[in-house]
């Protein structure tokens, strides 16, 4: 099988998987008890009339038969027509405002986590059985196992309330509401100041997984015959580790990196809620509480689509990184 045939086959698989995912989401949302409009009416009962209630149901397409709603649901998502939130206007605009903020937080956290995790994981594997290896493994298991809300609260308590080094919540200083900064340095410093604690929380919680993954991948390759042969030829250990071992150990790491990048847009629900960071994670949490189906549908669709594309990109990268892999 050639590369073109492989790509065509994977695109067909991607379309099928996307359709199945959208169908599952539609079934789940429609099997949920109650009606989102009814919940909205309960909050607005003093000003709601039967006529207005019927208009709302018709506006959101809740009066149509189920099969018509299903076709409309699939078509709207595929054409990026996310409709309107039950509470906050156009879904596309609402998500656009939050995506940039989430990418700032998640992008910074993922960049630090991946670089630090791969570096420390490689060191742990190279020094396997040593005190350094044991300390890194135990530390990784601890931070990776504790609940992230507990970790976030401890960081918030120590650095924000006890030491008063960083703000406990928000995305920028309150003074900016009255006077927005004009120079980029002031803006960047203020944003990084408020990003510090949620970033530290995410890094500490996720870096352990990257350390353990990298360590396992490197250990799987460091005892192979080609490593023994390279050592017998007098090749330096650093060259063996970074030019040979890491290259062969990189395939599962690449998959995790691509999926992590794709998952950034979903945000971090617990961390964003804990630090009141107005990103996609907090939007998802509020939408769940408000039973805001249009927003949840859009978020799940975008997250699913990016995950499917990320898997496709990872499969293509395999052939680039490892010439032994053939698309067949």
pLDDT band of residue 170 (cuts 50, 70, 90) is confident
pLDDT band of residue 17 (cuts 50, 70, 90) is very high
pLDDT of residue 56 exceeding 70: no
pLDDT band of residue 59 (cuts 50, 70, 90) is low
Can you tell me whether residue 85 is helix, strand or coil?
A: strand
Can you tell me whether residue 149 is helix, strand or coil?
A: helix
- Given a contact cutoff of 8 angstroms between Cβ atoms, the answer to whether 299 and 95 are in contact is yes
- Please list the residues that pair with 73 across neighbouring strands: none
- Given a contact cutoff of 8 angstroms between Cβ atoms, the answer to whether 326 and 319 are in contact is yes
d(CA 29, CA 262): 24
Long-range pairs of 248-252 with CB within 8 A, sequence gap ≥ 24:
248/221, 248/224, 248/322, 249/214, 249/217, 249/218, 249/220, 249/221, 250/217, 250/321, 251/318, 251/321, 251/322, 252/213, 252/217
- Calculate the average pLDDT of the chain: 82
Please identify, in words, the CATH class of the domain defined by 93-321.
mainly alpha
CA 126 to chain centre: 30
174/253: higher pLDDT: 253
Q: Tens digits of per-residue pLDDT, 63-119?
A: 677 788 888 888 888 888 888 887 777 888 888 888 888 888 888 999 999 999 999
d(CA 244, CA 235): 11
The position carrying tokens 């580790």 is 241
User: Looking at residue 253, what is its pLDDT?
Assistant: 85
d(CA 191, CA 203): 17
pLDDT band of residue 120 (cuts 50, 70, 90) is very high
Residues 6+ apart with CB under 8 A from 139: 208
Ordered DSSP codes for 21-42: HHHHHHHHHHHSSS-HHHHHHH
- Given a contact cutoff of 8 angstroms between Cβ atoms, the answer to whether 66 and 275 are in contact is no
pLDDT of residue 52 exceeding 70: no
113/246: higher pLDDT: 113
pLDDT band of residue 47 (cuts 50, 70, 90) is low
Whole-structure pTM value: 0.81
251/215: higher pLDDT: 215
User: Looking at residue 262, what is its pLDDT?
Assistant: 79
Altogether, the residues listed in the chain come to a count of: 328
Q: Tens digits of per-residue pLDDT, 259-289?
A: 888 778 777 888 888 888 888 888 888 888 8
- Given a contact cutoff of 8 angstroms between Cβ atoms, the answer to whether 87 and 295 are in contact is no
pLDDT of residue 1 exceeding 60: no
Least confident of 41-55, 195-209, 227-241: 41-55
- Hey, what are 297's tokens? 């549908």
| Domain ranges within the chain, ordered by starting residue | 18-79, 93-321
Question: By C-alpha distance, which of 142, 113, 308 is closest to 214?
Answer: 113
């Amino acid at each position: 099988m050639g590369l073109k045939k492989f790509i065509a086959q994977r695109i067909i698989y991607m379309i099928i998987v996307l359709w199945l995912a959208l169908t599952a989401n539609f079934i789940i949302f429609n099997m949920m008890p109650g009606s989102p409009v009814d919940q909205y009416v309960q909050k607005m009962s003093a000003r709601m009339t039967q006529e207005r209630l019927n208009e709302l149901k018709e506006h959101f397409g809740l009066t149509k038969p189920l099969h018509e709603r299903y076709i409309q649901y699939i078509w709207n998502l595929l054409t990026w027509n996310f409709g309107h939130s039950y509470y906050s206007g156009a879904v596309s605009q609402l998500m656009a405002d939050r995506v940039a903020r989430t990418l700032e937080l998640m992008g910074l956290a993922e960049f630090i986590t991946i670089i630090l995790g791969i570096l420390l994981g490689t060191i742990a594997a190279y020094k396997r059985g040593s005190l350094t290896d044991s300390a890194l493994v135990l530390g990784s298991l601890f931070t990776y196992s504790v609940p992230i809300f507990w970790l976030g609260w401890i960081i918030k308590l120590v650095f924000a309330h006890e030491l008063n080094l960083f703000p406990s919540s928000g995305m920028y200083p309150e003074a900016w509401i009255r006077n927005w900064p004009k120079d980029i340095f002031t803006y960047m410093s203020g944003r990084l100041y408020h990003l510090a604690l949620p970033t530290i929380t995410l890094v500490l919680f996720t870096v352990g997984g990257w350390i353990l993954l990298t360590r396992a991948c490197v250990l799987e390759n460091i005892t192979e015959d080609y490593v023994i042969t390279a050592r017998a030829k007098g090749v330096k250990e650093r060259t063996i580790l970074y030019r040979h071992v890491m290259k062969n150990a990189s395939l599962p790491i690449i998959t995790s990196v691509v999926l992590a990048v794709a998952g950034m847009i979903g945000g971090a629900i617990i961390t964003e809620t804990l630090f009141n960071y107005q990103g996609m994670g907090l939007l998802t949490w509020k939408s769940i509480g408000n039973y805001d189906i249009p927003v949840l549908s859009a978020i799940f669709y975008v997250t699913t689509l990016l995950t499917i594309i990320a898997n496709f990109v990872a499969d293509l990268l395999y052939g680039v990184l490892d010439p032994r892999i053939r698309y067949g």
